[in-house]
């Protein structure tokens, strides 16, 4: 898991949730790389679809784009 800085948490709580207490977002890094279908739950990035790791640090994040893309978490 990766804890998000407070500025991202403050922004997220003003957005509509994907489900109860979580968001599905695209993460855009400062180097331009993107990660789609990222789950943010309670201020933490908890999962990235198709990955077992979180290959970036919180300070690398340039933008979060809420997509609400749904996927079967048990199959990821």
Predicted local confidence at residue 8, as pLDDT:
94
User: pLDDT tens for residues 27-75?
Assistant: 999 999 999 999 999 999 999 999 999 999 999 999 999 999 877 666 6
pTM for this entry: 0.89
> Per-residue pLDDT for 23 more than 70?
yes
Predicted local confidence at residue 76, as pLDDT:
54
> Per-residue pLDDT for 25 more than 90?
yes
Q: Which residues, 6+ apart, have CB-to-CB distance to 31 below 8 Å?
A: 60
Residue 30 is classified by DSSP as T
């Amino acid at each position: 898991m990766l804890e998000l800085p407070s500025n991202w948490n403050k922004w997220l709580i003003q957005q509509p949730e994907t489900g109860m207490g979580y968001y599905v977002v695209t993460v855009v890094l400062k180097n331009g790389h993107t990660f789609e279908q990222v789950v943010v739950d309670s201020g933490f990035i908890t999962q990235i679809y198709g990955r077992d790791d979180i290959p970036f640090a919180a300070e690398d994040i340039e933008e979060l784009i809420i997509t609400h893309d749904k996927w079967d978490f048990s199959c990821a």
